[in-house]
Structure 1
Amino acid sequence: MHQEINKTIQVLKQGGIILYPTDTVWGIGCDANNAGAVKKIYELKQREDSKALICLVADDRMLKKHVKNIPDAALSIIDIADKPTTIIYDEAQNLASNLIAPDGTIAIRIPDDDFCYQLSRKFNGAIVSTSANISGFPTPKSFKEISKAILKGVDYVVNLHQEKNCSKPSSIIKLSNNGIVKVIRP
């Protein structure tokens, strides 16, 4: 795993796009601070750039770097969630501008997955994580289901867990600074 993390970090630092196993499904990712790499992901997925993407961070410290004001409920949800949970926060900061939604929000997850945790920690930054499919097509449940267009469109495919069947996408909860909580995807 150590070698794969180092290879992946090299690609991320060069503005490349990766295909990698996450705590949910296979994801397409890049450095969340690199607007050019984020643009390449939107183009590869054939997705409108007004539809925000999810980021992964290793821990609360990194979360605080990218969200101006973290609601108290967020840390409680992160601690008690029994499945992968992505939270949409108000007032995103220190990220590529084309990654932040038009309303200033960002979706971030702290993954419970050793590879993703180690990758983000060693990279020392947020990593984009969006499902490895063309927009409008089903999310692949395994590496074998990833389309050739996606495989050809990335700069690096992580050589780990390719035999693993993925679970389902994370739950998504929006926590607004005004106290409103909305479940987007249970």
Structure 2
Amino acid sequence: MELAQIVERLKKNEVVAYPTEAVFGLGCNPNSKSAVEKLLILKQRPVEKGLILVAHKLDLLLPFIDESRLKQSHWQLLTQQYDCPTTWVVPAKLSVPKFIIGQFDSVAVRLCTHPAVAQLCEQTGFALTSTSANLSGLPPCKTAQQVRSQFGEFFPVLDMTVGNAVNPSEIRDIFSRQIFRQG
């Protein structure tokens, strides 16, 4: 599908697939409970696990981050460019719904420079949820055709290529720098 069609689907609180740095992600409007519920059902993912949010600029992630708990050094980590995609687990605002953060009081966020993410966020005006596009037990999709084979020929997929990263993002705690998932 073309970019404009995917943007319209996102604005209508539908779930779409889009390329990220290493694999296709499944995404939706994180402000829509119905959209996130559709995503969790599709992915067979328990709500307790929480979701990653991605955006091309920090402004779109700030509504989810408890800024009062971060120091300048944390902001530097969050906004720095890395060799491999890096997702940071940061304190969540009390207003962030459980359908985003799951059982945690934190939220996983990533600044993503992939052109697809930048264009989708720019045109929708919101961050996107990001979980790998694959059915339970199958490997993450690296092409639009792989997404269609797993989710069906008519699933809304943005026809662009993934970035050059070898692995999905590394996930780290902003305070301890502990790695939750190796990149």
TM-score normalised by L of structure 2: 0.84
User: Residue 95 and residue 151 in structure 1: after superposition, are their counterparts in 2 closer, same or farther (change >3 A)?
Assistant: farther
- Deviating above 4 A after TM superposition, structure 1's stretches of 4 or more consecutive aligned residues are 93-96
In structure 1, the residue matched to 2:59 is 61
User: Residue 37 and residue 13 in structure 1: after superposition, are their counterparts in 2 closer, same or farther (change >3 A)?
Assistant: same
In structure 2, the residue matched to 1:173 is 172
Gapped regions of structure 2 (runs ≥ 5): none
CA distance in 2 between counterparts of 1:138 and 1:65 reads: 32
CA distance in 1 between counterparts of 2:95 and 2:119 reads: 21
Q: Deviations over 1:40-62 (max 9, x none)?
A: 11111111111111111221222
In structure 2, the residue matched to 1:42 is 40
CA distance in 1 between counterparts of 2:73 and 2:102 reads: 21
Q: Deviations over 1:115-144 (max 9, x none)?
A: 211211221111111101123332234344
CA distance in 2 between counterparts of 1:64 and 1:46 reads: 28
Q: Deviations over 1:137-156 (max 9, x none)?
A: 322343444363423684x1
Aligned residue pair count: 179
Secondary structure at 2:80's aligned position in 1?
helix
Letter in 1 for 2:141: P
In structure 2, the residue matched to 1:52 is 50
- Residue 96 of structure 1 and its aligned partner are, at CA, apart by 4.6
Mean alpha-carbon deviation: is it higher for 144-153 or for 83-92? 144-153
Q: Does 1:185 align with 2:181?
A: yes
Q: How does 1:47-126 map to 2 (within 5 A)?
A: 47-69=45-67, 70-77=70-77, 78-92=79-93, 95-126=96-127
- Residue 75 of structure 1 and its aligned partner are, at CA, apart by 2.9
Identical-pair percentage: 26
Task: Report the aligned-residue RMSD.
Answer: 2.5
Contact 2:101 2:107 in 1 (8 A): yes
CA distance in 2 between counterparts of 1:160 and 1:67 reads: 30
Contact 2:143 2:161 in 1 (8 A): no
Secondary structure at 2:2's aligned position in 1?
helix
TM-score normalised by L of structure 1: 0.83
